[in-house]
A = this chain, B = another copy of it.
Amino acid sequence: MGKPTRRVEMPTIKTLAEMTGFSIATVSKALRDSPVVAPATRDAIFDAAEKVGYRANQRGQALRTGKTYQVAVLMPLTGASGYEWDGVEYTQILSGISQALDGSGYRISAHIVTDAEDGAAMARQIAGLGMADGLIFSGILADDPRINLLAETAFPFVTLGRCRRDIDYAHVDVDNEWAAHAATARLIEGGHRRIALVNPHRRLSYSLDRLDGFTRAFVERGLAPSLDLVVEGDLSTRFGKDSTEALLARPDPPSAFVCVNESTTLGVLSGLAARGLAVARDVDVIAYDDINVSAYFTPPLTTLYLPIEQLGRMLGQFLLRRIAGEGPSRLRQTFQPALIPRQADNCRMTSNPMTGGE
């Protein structure tokens, strides 16, 4: 009746066997281009396959070979309502992975996870049950249970981000230390001394990387880093706004901000505007630019541009190589973001209302 049944039976390998008169074993071998079948039979079988529009049944293949032709991607989303910018960069990452997988026969299965623990459980499940042939995940902690777990197995995985333990695993990362250093150094050159760092939670590995770069920029110049102006939280717009307002309310407020992504940046801008401060006039802001939007802020911001889709592509490529059996040692890549100056935040300031005209 109304049950979901395909109108016409799909042709199977058996159909082709009957059509051509060969056995299903020969058909299978022919389709897989095995050298043992005679060229003539190979052609006959391919013709038949073409004629009936044969496509291998993935379920049958999966059962026999144990391969799923699926690549699992863990998408971390807090699920906090009203925080809907959350994870927007993931669309681009998925797009990049998809491009890398194109033509490989692999498909993406997306798994929403709410936190690191949830992610670890999901990773265990995916690897243990063989739900996919490989796994990609991000949001790497300084000591990440998922990496610890999977690195012991032979299950292929690639991470976006590095943990801080000395483990051999495939990964793609951004040089966050360099980026935070570059942004901070630029602002210091611009005359800023009280610089705020809007950072993710410190259990995230790249939060520490950024803190390192931030600190180094000061120390290199014989200055004390403004560590009291480092704020940490989720990467929501609200967090950016709230912490900006809190920072500005302090007795010795920041005159510049280094932001972690565009979501928080927007919050920071909103917070500044609420206090009547204008970027480039009163305050300088440098941000990561992961979804290519900072150029449209008013005014346009100096950013560290991340070709995030490209990172995704590399994640996919690395994973395919891992699945093909390659070891993880050569599968590591660190991207250096491009600093795109859009404001004169590196020029020595003549006056700054926040720093009392120092």
Contact = CB atoms under 8 A, between A and B. Distances in A.
A24 B109 CA distance: 31
B112 A95 contact: yes
Interface string A78-113: 010111111111111011001100000001111110
Contacts of A300: 270
A3 interface: yes
A50 B156 CA distance: 28
A4 B269 contact: no
Contact of A68 (B59, B99, B154, B296): B59
Contact of A55 (B63, B129, B270, B299): B129
Nearest to A134: B4
Query: Quick one: which of A84, A273, A300, A308 has the most chain B CB within 10 A?
Result: A84
Contact of A112 (B57, B94, B237): B94
A62 interface: yes
Interface string A24-63: 0000000000000000000000000000000101111011
A133 B88 CA distance: 27
A3 B63 contact: no
Contacts of A89: 88
Contacts of A88: 85, 88-89, 91, 291
Contacts of A91: 75, 77, 86-88, 90-91
A296 B57 CA distance: 50
Nearest to A262: B85
B85 A293 contact: yes
Contacts of A273: 298-299
Interface string A268-293: 01100100000000000000001111
B84 A98 contact: no
B98 A107 contact: no
Given A59-B62, A91-B75, A108-B111, A292 B99 contact: no
Given A129-B55, A296-B241, A84 B79 contact: no
B153 A7 contact: yes
A354 interface: no
A357 interface: no
A7 B127 CA distance: 11
A222 interface: no
Contacts of A82: 292
Given A59-B59, A86-B92, 14 more contacts: A10-B130, A59-B130, A62-B63, A84-B291, A84-B308, A88-B291, A98-B110, A109-B109, A237-B292, A237-B293, A269-B298, A270-B296, A270-B300, A273-B298
Interface of A: 2-7, 10, 55, 57-60, 62-63, 66, 68, 70, 73, 75, 77, 79, 81-92, 94-95, 98-99, 107-112, 128-131, 133, 153-156, 237, 241, 263, 266-267, 269-270, 273, 290-293, 295-300, 308-309, 323, 325, 327
- Please provide the 9 A-B residue pairs with the shortest distance between their CB atoms, ordered closest to farther: A88-B88, A98-B112, A84-B292, A270-B296, A273-B298, A59-B62, A59-B63, A84-B291, A4-B154
13 contacts: A4-B154, A6-B128, A7-B153, A84-B291, A84-B309, A85-B293, A86-B91, A87-B91, A98-B112, A107-B109, A109-B110, A266-B297, A273-B299
